[in-house]
């Protein structure tokens, strides 16, 4: 039965590789895996995302789980199509990282009708669709925003700043990390009268958009900008050359706060051009595999699994930060 399913999946992956979409089967086709997991990934927008995909592939192999992996190229409709294909293949468990929170109702009802448990990985969906999924394995984005805001308060204290003008470059609109990181950051700075947010602008988690947003912000606010709070490393890395081109030194003239903690951003933190990076770990694969095995065995799973995360900043000896692996 499993051998048949895997054979179908491999055939299917072949079809997709020929141009229909991006599906791979990374399962061990030589032996029967106990479990077939369909995973719909958002895309390849960031080092974080790529690290997350690699980790899920590696952990599936470690656990001997057959993985049907589809890349949605940043489109919700591609994710919905992928989930429908997983249902058609009768995978044992479906997992996906919802690009935005709304709009999953119908397809999740279809999964429920087919009796296939669904796990949310990385991002969440809206409350009213929640009972259609089993659990969420992903970071506490609100806490990440709080940690970014608390860092800024400490930094403003240490520099003796009296007025702090902030621009925020946000992640994809209506995505969980965008909404929660913003909420956590705003709540953390709300009681501090020095803080003013000049503008929040949507950078879609993309490096190119980070650069574009930064150009606009510099044109609009120029030297009034004291702080850039960027929701991911990619956008931060896109923004930095724009700041330099405008004649400012990132990390000195403008405080730079980022989220993710990929190697490239950590290297820039070590050079002093980023002041703070809040970690968001993409290594969710182990928890996903363990959860999928429990679901297959009909066992209870934790409703929410948040990994532990830390803050990297110029408050510490950055030369001691270990290689990040993504």
Please report how close the Cβ of residue 262 comes to ligand GYE at its closest, in angstroms: 8
Can you give the binding site for ligand GYE, defined by CB under 6 A?
45-46, 48-49, 122-123, 139, 177, 205, 232, 234, 259-260, 280
Q: Smaller CB distance to ligand GYE: residue 165 or 230?
A: 230
Q: Least CB distance from residue 222 to ligand GYE, whole Å? A: 28
Which tokens in the block code for residue 113?
Answer: 């009708």
* Cβ distance to ligand GYE smaller for residue 156 or 266: 266
> What b/e string do you get for 116-151 counting C-beta neighbours within 10 Å, with b at 16 or more?
bbbbbbbbbbeeebeebbbbbbbbbbbbbbbbbbbb
Residues 145 and 183: beta-carbon distance below 8 Å: yes
Instruction: Please give the backbone phi and psi of residue 276, each rounded to the nearest 5 degrees, phi first.
Output: -150, 135
Taking the C-alpha atoms of residue 91 and residue 317, their distance in angstroms, rounded to an integer, is 47
In the bound complex, what is the minimum distance in angstroms from residue 259's beta carbon to ligand GYE?
Answer: 6
Q: Provide, rounded to whole angstroms, the least separation between the CB of residue 323 and ligand GYE.
A: 18
Contact predicate 206/232, CB 8 Å? no
Please state, in angstroms and rounded to a whole number, the distance separating the CA atoms of residues 183 and 185: 6
CB of 140 to ligand GYE, least distance (A): 11
Rounded least distance, CB 16 to ligand GYE, Å: 23
Judged by beta carbon, residue 92 or residue 233, the one nearer ligand GYE is: 233
Of 138 and 250, which CB lies nearer to ligand GYE in the complex structure?
Answer: 138
Helix-strand-coil percent breakdown of the chain, rounded to 5? 45, 20, 35
Between 38 and 238, CB nearer to ligand GYE: 238
Our CB check for ligand GYE shows the closer of 70 and 260 to be 260
């Amino acid at each position: 039965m499993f051998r048949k399913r895997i054979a179908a999946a491999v055939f299917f992956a072949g079809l997709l590789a020929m141009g229909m979409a991006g599906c791979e089967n990374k399962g061990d086709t030589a032996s029967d895996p106990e479990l077939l997991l369909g995973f719909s990934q958002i895309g390849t927008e960031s080092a974080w995302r790529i690290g997350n995909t690699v980790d899920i592939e590696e952990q599936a192999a470690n656990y001997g789980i057959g993985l049907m992996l589809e890349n949605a190229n940043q489109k919700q409709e591609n994710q919905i199509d992928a989930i429908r294909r997983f249902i058609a293949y009768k995978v044992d468990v479906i997992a996906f990282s919802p690009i935005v929170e709304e709009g999953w109702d119908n397809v999740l009802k279809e999964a429920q009708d087919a009796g296939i448990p669904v796990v949310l990985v990385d991002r969440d969906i809206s409350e009213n669709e929640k009972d259609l999924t089993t659990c969420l394995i992903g970071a506490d984005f609100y806490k990440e925003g709080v940690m970014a805001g608390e860092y800024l308060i400490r930094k403003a204290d240490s520099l003796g700043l009296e007025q702090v003008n902030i621009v925020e470059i946000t992640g994809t609109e209506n995505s969980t990390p965008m909404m929660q990181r913003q909420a956590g950051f705003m709540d953390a700075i709300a009681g501090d009268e020095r803080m003013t947010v000049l503008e929040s602008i949507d950078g879609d988690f993309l490096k190119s958009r980070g650069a574009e947003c930064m150009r606009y912000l510099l044109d609009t606010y120029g030297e009034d900008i004291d702080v850039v709070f960027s929701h991911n490393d990619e956008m931060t890395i896109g923004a930095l050359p724009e700041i330099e081109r405008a004649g400012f030194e990132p990390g000195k003239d403008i405080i730079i706060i980022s989220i993710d903690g990929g190697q490239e951003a950590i290297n820039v933190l070590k050079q002093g051009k980023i002041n703070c990076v809040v970690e968001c770990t993409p290594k969710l694969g182990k928890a996903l595999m363990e959860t999928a095995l429990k679901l297959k065995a009909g066992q209870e799973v934790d409703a929410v699994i948040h990994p532990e995360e830390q803050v990297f900043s110029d408050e510490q000896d950055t030369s001691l930060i270990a290689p990040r692996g993504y």
